[in-house]
Amino acid sequence: MSFIPGSLGFDEFGTPFIIIKDQHKQRRLTGIDALKSHILAARAVAKTLYTSLGPKGLDKMMVSSDGEVTVTNDGATILNMMDVDHEIAKLMVQLSQSQDNEIGDGTTGVVVIAGALLEQAEHLLDQGIHPIRIADGFELAAQSACKHLDSIADSFPVDINNLEPLIKTAMTTLGSKIVNKCHRQMAEIAVNAVIAVADFDKRDVNFELIKVQGKEGGRLEDTMLVKGVVVDKDFSHPQMPKELKDVHLAILTCPFEPPKPKTKHKLDVASVEDYRALRKYEQDTFNDMVKKVKDAGATLAICQWGFDDEANHLLLKHELPAVRWVGGPEIELIAIATGGRIIPRFEEVSKEKLGYAGKVSELSFGTTKDKMLLIEECKNSRAVTIFIRGGNKMIIEEAKRSIHDALCVVRNLVQDNRIVYGGGAAEISCGIAVSSEADKISSIEQYAYRAFADALESVPLALAENSGLSPIDTLTQVRARQIKEKNPALGIDCMLVGTNDMKEQNVIETLHSKKQQIILAAQLVKMILKIDDVRVPGENFD
């Protein structure tokens, strides 16, 4: 018998067989055992996020391997920072990431729905239903739920003259976040930022034009929207003016230094005359560089690289304010905002390539006098910066994630202005519709339909539980009212306002986000239910 070690072998009759390395150390799971192993791992991940759902959901503290602490209730961030080994659990992490990349919101809800679907699938497997029939039934039920969402969706007015409806939608998104102490202010900032950069003809929003910048110190209430660019730098010389008007910017990616000969030869300075000649050459080169920038009409130089004290002194002497060590992404944003061109060589400096800003000023913070540069009244007024303040880095980072979610929701409404009502109202309504659809099906998929309807109710159950209400009682009452009153806007009164009508409470979610949650969750569950053979290391399996 001949064989290729570790891959393929042949017996004396030429029949091939697979040779598996370290098989004595591995354990093979097949069939129902493998499926239950997958379901257990995925449900463990979903259970972690269950308590973070809703306006009264709890935050999670994540500590990285180097001791950095993150406190958040953003589903995608929690899963991304979790140290997950199980391959199926990693699929749940990717599911949340997909929702975040496509929609930007609903990252917790999609994982909770997927976990509930897998829990229902386990019950159906115990009843002897084949996993493929369950997966197909879930997929059909998801399509039925999306069709029902289309029927209950309301059209939403996106009008730049009346931003109040958009602000209320953004407030729904920010309700569960750390920034809800300045709830309305943050919602207004997010809406105004999107409206500033939105292209209503193409129904699109370019997020490249929105920069989110944070600075420790101050209060969350000090957060503001800047119609321009904020750069975490200051003027290169302390004697340069702190405020400039009608500024023409030269955006340079070349350093203020004499060109170095690109050879392997070295320059020997053998005498005082040689040194003086070299010094004069350097000085002349600096003067020539500054002159080229000044002659083009620039009144401010933004440089990607640094320059030494001599160049700094010459810039001050020639009354040309400058900023050094400005990062690549910031350079690009300044170029977009001011309508300037990035200049790679001093020989290419010209008046046509200069950017324009109405005002450039230096901000100073607190007793430490930390400085930042504010570039306002730019040529391209669509570029904006959200400048976040907060007590520490952790709060600022969470505020950035919260603002990102709100920006994404408003962006989605600009693209598709249909909405459904939150507080679990849409899930309860879809659950009722899918359950009644099951009664019309004569095949075995009707069990999957009913299980899907039960799984959708996991979201309102979680909302009620996290709000301190009796989950089953609350859900039963709202479900009965929805059937009786035929009102799909009835949900869980998480904030204890006194009404279950989410339309009155202005708890709004985008239709696109809700459909995406249901579709992605059903697709992932279908994938998991089709994996019935897994090989795992024996000692680490448990």
Percent of the chain whose pLDDT exceeds 70: 92
Asked whether residue 527 falls in the same domain as residue 455, the answer is yes
What's the mean pLDDT when you consider all of the chain? 84
Q: Catalytic: 222?
A: no
Residue corresponding to tokens 């709000």: 467
**pLDDT of res. 540:** 44
**pLDDT of res. 327:** 82
Burial class (CB in 10 A: 0-12, 13-18, 19+), 146: middle
Checking if the pLDDT of 491 tops 70, the result is yes
Question: For residue 318, what pLDDT band results from cuts at 50, 70 and 90?
Answer: confident
**pLDDT of res. 264:** 64
Examine residue 195 and state whether it is found in any structural domain, yes or no: no
User: Which strand ranges, in their side-by-side order, compose the sheet holding 508-510?
Assistant: 154-155, 418-421, 508-510
The candidate with the shortest Cα–Cα distance to 302, out of 326, 318, 327, is 326
Letter string b/e over residues 104-134, b meaning 16 or more CB atoms within 10 A of that residue's CB: bbbbbbbbbbbbbbbbbbbebbeeebebebb
Q: Which of 171-185, 300-314, 341-355 has the lowest mean pLDDT?
A: 171-185
What is the C-alpha separation between 439 and 416, in angstroms, rounded? 33
Higher-confidence position of 481 and 15: 481
Q: Kindly report the CATH number assigned to the domain that includes residue 91.
A: 1.10.560.10
Asked whether residue 434 falls in the same domain as residue 487, the answer is yes
**pLDDT of res. 113:** 93
Mean pLDDT of 22-37: 68
**pLDDT of res. 35:** 84
Q: Kindly report the CATH number assigned to the domain that includes residue 335.
A: 3.50.7.10
Burial class (CB in 10 A: 0-12, 13-18, 19+), 341: middle
Q: Which of 154-168, 401-415, 471-485 has the lowest mean pLDDT?
A: 154-168
Mean pLDDT of 14-39: 69
Q: Which of 20-34, 248-262, 397-411, 465-479 has the lowest mean pLDDT?
A: 20-34
Examine residue 500 and state whether it is found in any structural domain, yes or no: yes
Examine residue 13 and state whether it is found in any structural domain, yes or no: no
Q: Catalytic: 74?
A: yes
What is the C-alpha separation between 117 and 39, in angstroms, rounded? 10
Identify the top-confidence range among 136-150, 245-259, 284-298: 136-150
Mean pLDDT of 340-366: 87
Structure tokens at 434: 């899918």
Write down which residue in 325, 360, 380 finishes a domain.
Answer: 380
Asked whether residue 339 falls in the same domain as residue 281, the answer is yes
Q: Which of 4-8, 37-41, 214-218, 416-420 has the lowest mean pLDDT?
A: 4-8
Q: Catalytic: 107?
A: yes
Asked whether residue 235 falls in the same domain as residue 372, the answer is yes
Examine residue 198 and state whether it is found in any structural domain, yes or no: no
Q: Which of 32-46, 366-380, 382-396 has the lowest mean pLDDT?
A: 366-380
Examine residue 246 and state whether it is found in any structural domain, yes or no: yes
Percent of the chain whose pLDDT exceeds 90: 19
Asked whether residue 358 falls in the same domain as residue 265, the answer is yes
Question: For residue 233, what pLDDT band results from cuts at 50, 70 and 90?
Answer: confident
**pLDDT of res. 474:** 92
The candidate with the shortest Cα–Cα distance to 250, out of 148, 342, 371, is 342
**CB-based contact 52:108 (threshold 8 Å):** yes
**pLDDT of res. 262:** 62
Catalytic residue among 107, 169, 173, 338: 107
The candidate with the shortest Cα–Cα distance to 236, out of 293, 315, 297, 299, is 315
Examine residue 118 and state whether it is found in any structural domain, yes or no: yes
Asked whether residue 427 falls in the same domain as residue 513, the answer is yes
What number of CA atoms fall less than 13 Å from residue 282's CA on the CB side?
A: 15
Write down which residue in 358, 380, 402 finishes a domain.
Answer: 380
Catalytic residue among 48, 72, 77, 108: 108
pLDDT digits (tens, 9 = 90+) for 88-139: 888 888 888 888 888 888 888 899 999 999 999 999 999 989 989 999 999 9
In DSSP notation, 75-106 reads HHHHHHHS---SHHHHHHHHHHHHHHHHTSS-
Checking if the pLDDT of 4 tops 70, the result is no
Asked whether residue 311 falls in the same domain as residue 435, the answer is no
Examine residue 151 and state whether it is found in any structural domain, yes or no: yes
Asked whether residue 341 falls in the same domain as residue 287, the answer is yes
Mean pLDDT of 45-52: 88
Checking if the pLDDT of 3 tops 60, the result is no
**pLDDT of res. 27:** 60
Asked whether residue 347 falls in the same domain as residue 246, the answer is yes
Asked whether residue 237 falls in the same domain as residue 356, the answer is yes
Q: Catalytic: 234?
A: no
**pLDDT of res. 419:** 87
CA dihedral 420, 422, 428, 431 (to 10 degrees): 50
Residue corresponding to tokens 């505020």: 399
Q: Which of 309-313, 469-473, 526-530 has the lowest mean pLDDT?
A: 309-313
Examine residue 390 and state whether it is found in any structural domain, yes or no: no
**pLDDT of res. 261:** 62
Identify the top-confidence range among 33-47, 115-129, 189-203, 520-534: 115-129
**pLDDT of res. 22:** 55
Checking if the pLDDT of 369 tops 70, the result is yes
**pLDDT of res. 398:** 86
Catalytic residue among 405, 454, 493, 501: 405
In DSSP notation, 114-143 reads HHHHHHHHHHHHHTT--HHHHHHHHHHHHH
**pLDDT of res. 207:** 84
Asked whether residue 344 falls in the same domain as residue 238, the answer is yes
Letter string b/e over residues 367-405, b meaning 16 or more CB atoms within 10 A of that residue's CB: eeeeebbbbbbbebeebbbbbbbbeeebbbbbbbbbbbb
Element (H, E) at 399: helix 393-415
Structure tokens at 182: 């300045």
Question: In DSSP terms, which residues pair with 106 in a beta bridge?
Answer: none
Checking if the pLDDT of 538 tops 60, the result is no
Q: How far is CA 422 from the centre of its chain?
A: 21
The CB density around residue 269, as the number of other CB atoms within 10 Å, is: 12
| Residue span of the structural domain in which 33 resides | 28-155+421-537
Q: Which of 114-123, 128-137, 172-181, 446-455 has the lowest mean pLDDT?
A: 172-181
- Please state the domain count of the chain: 2
Asked whether residue 355 falls in the same domain as residue 461, the answer is no
Catalytic residue among 48, 70, 72, 74: 74
Element (H, E) at 293: helix 272-295
**CB-based contact 69:482 (threshold 8 Å):** no
Write down which residue in 352, 380, 408 finishes a domain.
Answer: 380
